[in-house]
Amino acid sequence: MARMKHYVIANWKMYLSAQKSVATFKQLLRWEKTHKWNKNLEVVVAPPLIALPEIAALLRKARSSQIRLCAQDIGFAEEGAFTGGIAPRDVKRLGVQYALVGHSERRQYFSEDTGLCRRKAVAARAGGLKVVYCVGETKDERHAGRVHDVVREQLAGVKADVVAYEPRWAIGTGIPIAPGEAETVHAFIAHEAAGKPAVCYGGSVSPENVMQFVALEDTAGVLVGSASTTLKSLCSIISKVDKRS
């Protein structure tokens, strides 16, 4: 049986300036040259969109086989009168392979609902991008015992290549979910999602706790926010997941 592919997905959000993103990415490329990773491991970096063209050019030049790029957001249509929109085909043309859809910060601060996420996922795939789709409940929804209902609703009609389970209350708080609880939801996602996506965990992943998550059943890796924004902790996470891949 083929070994499961593993992922470290680094979401730099709006933490790093475009300039700092480029500098950090250069350091990552240099680090990659001196560290051979397992072929099953893909490191997917989602820099701020404004830095993507420059970073994509660096990646093309470096001919890295294991670092991939991801757009933090994507337009829901191919082209047209959509001010501020990002055409998937333009992202693809840069050599970017993934688009992030449904991140809880997009849902919360940009009022994106699952209907819009569905359209974004369709547009991304039609434009030749793979979709990393985020799902996850709020604290209240968890307390009300609604985790599976919420995740089921978020998954409905969305075809993704990677589904990241990110309980909203665990994002950016330094307090991840208990691994056993993540495992239950990962199994649910593996059963419920269309097209057998890889399932990753996200929410306060750090070099200290990452192994607890990648050791879980039905878990192909991690989506990391703040701990991915410094080279030291990103590389530490990559090295640890590499041992498992």
Q: Which residue in the list 42, 137, 166, 183 is annotated as catalytic?
A: 166
Torsion sign over Cα 119, 172, 139, 196: positive
Paired tokens of 171: 């994002």
Tell me whether residue 84 is exposed, middle or buried, using C-beta atoms within 10 angstroms of its C-beta: 0 to 12, 13 to 18, 19 or more. exposed
Check binding of 11 to ligand PGA (CB under 6 A): yes
Which part of the chain contacts ligand PGA (CB under 6 A), choosing from 31-39, 63-71, 113-121, 198-206?
Answer: 198-206
Which residues are paired to 46 by β-bridges? 11
For residue 19, the SS3 value is helix
Which part of the chain contacts ligand PGA (CB under 6 A), choosing from 58-66, 113-121, 165-173, 213-221?
Answer: 165-173
Residue placing its CB nearer to ligand PGA in the complex, 47 or 203? 203
Residue placing its CB nearer to ligand PGA in the complex, 122 or 134? 134
Residue placing its CB nearer to ligand PGA in the complex, 69 or 224? 224
Instruction: Tell me whether residue 166 is one of the annotated catalytic residues.
Output: yes
Question: Which DSSP category does 50 fall into?
Answer: G
Instruction: Tell me whether residue 35 is one of the annotated catalytic residues.
Output: no
Residue placing its CB nearer to ligand PGA in the complex, 17 or 65? 17
Quote the crossing angle between the two packed helices 18-33 and 231-244, to the nearest 10°. Answer: 40
Maximum separation of any 2 CA atoms in the chain, in Å:
50
CB 43 within 8 A of CB 66: yes
Check binding of 223 to ligand PGA (CB under 6 A): yes
Check binding of 202 to ligand PGA (CB under 6 A): yes
Q: Minimal distance in Å, beta carbon 79 to ligand PGA?
A: 29
The set of catalytic residues is 103, 166
User: Where on the chain is the footprint of ligand PGA (CB under 6 A)?
Assistant: 11, 166, 171-172, 202-205, 223-227
